[in-house]
Structure 1
């Protein structure tokens, strides 16, 4: 389903929002994270998918590949670590800590008594567990009933204590908040709620690093920018982090910004329809585990309510089809997880509708940006859905890039 946002507008980036998230802080965060050995050196690839663009009937298609951001294989490797650094710097501000040294474990003795906690669908918890381990903190992760044992093991491998609950993601958020209050722990989450906005802001600011790299890479290759950008939904954190950067950088010349989410986890589309942060209308149980969120983050919504031009819901089978399309892409094979492929699935979805070439103006002149937000974060699920191992796709990718 496609819903055009009646409250979207082309205008300069509001100063009220700039005080919360801004390009300057995104660049500062990028500098801090460059010192962490948990991330790859340098920006993630920005691929030109010319043959896929031709097949889809659009002018240009670029794909930012976050699957290789780190061994965590997800963009989440930017958010939780960034927020953890800022939390530690704030709490221990009298000790003059160097932000670049926090995740190198140089303050581990000081931080040994610190415990951080979060709910997760998998990737955020894994990123927090990895960052906490390297900083020297204790980490507790709350998992809901739909998180697979495979994803649980991947988190536990970083030393996190796992708390299992019945219910869905939103239930796990509530349990994490309760556990933090009872034990004096600190929640590190990208989901905001009443009285809890600073850390979600810092998580979202970490995602702004992706946009900072994109602009830098486009300048280096002489690219003229994008007409349309597709962003994954979830609680809205990634979309807010990227959209706010584009909005501040380009003002009323920003591209059309679209958000894609599962039909059964349509909290952002419902928010647009109701004019406030709202809950999903469906079961929330989706193969797109990272986007299976039932409730919009209120803080993220303050950025999305006026910047997102349309909200697109897709079926699980559309995401699976997009995963396979990227794995076999003639431009460059890409390992894209269930949520990572949602942007391509959303683009393909609306290209079947007459409104695409009409009001949305997606045609042979369009320059479209997609972000592959994750790789095979659950290898067995990837194999089941695509019919091949992620390692085989990666080998095809290496062979392809070696021939260029």
Structure 2
């Protein structure tokens, strides 16, 4: 057995109140838009029945986002939907009638879309701008992996690595955008900037819409639990808003998990009054896509109202998840999952291999009747680190 740092807090602020903005209706609208994109296909939903049996639960279902439009991550779902909505407002179009070719042929003056990213979001924005014939400029915090920079530049975007952390880079880009008349496409909100992050979050919900459709098509049991990883919380809230309404907020156990170096959602959920708590510093976690220290206020309302648990884990946990998914039990399909994508699976595996498994299972309301939905939000977006973890045992749990 192994020892892992796993801090679990049941959400004492839970109300079950649904969001009118992150709803079934809005999620289906975003999903319908994505289905109209050239090359669209739903990403696979993997039924890891052997892993579920080993861990003592009824089912483990994993949405594999490494197949999303050849971009190896889910983030484009938010970026392209937000940019399309922004352009619709700019030119007086309806999102239902959005036409890529019309945009390219009839709009002479190009816009520049600017964003801050740890990698996947920036590539999604760059891809969307490329598809729409627009410009993109992407800033990354210090320590960005070379491959992630190359991925962004491959779509014709300018990519600049700063000497600041993620949250400070966001503030710097906001100032530059105002000075240069760029359109910011960021999945966190601040005063006066809410429409675009709302659209981005609604775009993320397509993953959940697809998952529920696939569960029905494959005759699988509906999830009793969902584990959602959080940076600023945008993806988690966009997905949870839909699932809470679709499956019932009181029936679904929604577990929000973060790396302990950037656990602003966990700390917010642990606060006495449910207020947002920020985390500063370098936030040097292996899960760079989750290395965000300030909750998105649009996200926090949903997560506070509809999550069942907030969890903070050390970096050995996502590393374990990467190895488990990449080396499956007989009968289960292999999933190549990056550091941020594997943290949910890592949590389940760490619980299973812990010497206090029974106590941890009880804390998360997991038992032999539980069906857990996980989102593997990225593939090996940093191939060098992926091999260091999966091949060479970096961040070993032993």
Q: C-alpha separation between the residues in 2 aligned to 1:278 and 1:105?
A: 44
Is 2:242 the partner of 1:245?
Answer: yes
The answer on whether the counterparts of 2:45 and 2:62 sit within 8 Å (CA) in structure 1 is yes
Structure 2: runs of 5 or more not aligned = 1-6, 393-398
Cα displacement (A) at 1:5: 1.3
Counterpart position of 1:299: 298
Q: 1:96 to 1:193 in 2, by over 3 A?
A: closer
In the comparison of the two structures, how many residue pairs are matched? 379
Counterpart position of 2:99: 101
Is 2:10 the partner of 1:4?
Answer: yes
Q: C-alpha separation between the residues in 1 aligned to 2:66 and 2:321?
A: 15
Is 2:52 the partner of 1:53?
Answer: yes
Q: Deviations over 1:314-338 (max 9, x none)?
A: 1112211210111111201110001
Is 2:350 the partner of 1:349?
Answer: yes
Is 2:128 the partner of 1:127?
Answer: no
> Normalization by structure 1: what TM-score?
0.89
Q: C-alpha separation between the residues in 1 aligned to 2:198 and 2:245?
A: 16
Cα displacement (A) at 1:45: 1.0
Q: 1:59 to 1:96 in 2, by over 3 A?
A: closer
Counterpart position of 2:88: 89
The answer on whether the counterparts of 1:89 and 1:99 sit within 8 Å (CA) in structure 2 is no
Q: 1:252 to 1:386 in 2, by over 3 A?
A: closer
Cα displacement (A) at 1:88: 0.5
Q: 1:359 to 1:283 in 2, by over 3 A?
A: same
> Normalization by structure 2: what TM-score?
0.90
Cα displacement (A) at 1:235: 0.5
Q: Deviations over 1:252-303 (max 9, x none)?
A: 4431000111010001011112212221266411111101111111111111
Query: Which residue, 377, 383, 387 being the options, matches 2:387?
Result: 383
The answer on whether the counterparts of 1:33 and 1:100 sit within 8 Å (CA) in structure 2 is no
Ranked by relative contact order (alpha carbons within 8 Å, sequence separation 6 or more), the top structure is 2
Q: Deviations over 1:48-73 (max 9, x none)?
A: 10111111121211111111112111
Q: 1:226 to 1:157 in 2, by over 3 A?
A: same
SS of 2:191's equivalent in the other structure is: coil
Is 2:183 the partner of 1:195?
Answer: no
Q: Deviations over 1:182-226 (max 9, x none)?
A: 111110011111111111110000111111111111111222311
Query: How do residues 2-401 of structure 1 correspond to structure 2 at under 5 angstroms?
Result: 2-9=8-15, 11=16, 13-14=17-18, 17-18=19-20, 20-37=21-38, 40-93=39-92, 99-102=97-100, 104=101, 106-107=103-104, 110=107, 112-274=109-271, 275-280=274-279, 283-330=282-329, 331-351=332-352, 352=354, 353=356, 354-387=358-391
Q: C-alpha separation between the residues in 2 aligned to 1:266 and 1:96?
A: 38
The answer on whether the counterparts of 2:84 and 2:95 sit within 8 Å (CA) in structure 1 is no
Q: Deviations over 1:121-170 (max 9, x none)?
A: 00000000011011011111111112122211110111111233211000
Q: 1:180 to 1:281 in 2, by over 3 A?
A: closer
The answer on whether the counterparts of 1:122 and 1:152 sit within 8 Å (CA) in structure 2 is yes
Structure 1: runs of 5 or more not aligned = 389-404
Q: C-alpha separation between the residues in 2 aligned to 1:162 and 1:187?
A: 15
Counterpart position of 1:399: none
Counterpart position of 1:402: none
Once superposed, what is the RMSD of the aligned Cα atoms? 1.9
SS of 2:310's equivalent in the other structure is: strand
Cα displacement (A) at 1:109: 5.3
Q: 1:166 to 1:254 in 2, by over 3 A?
A: same
Q: C-alpha separation between the residues in 1 aligned to 2:181 and 2:297?
A: 24
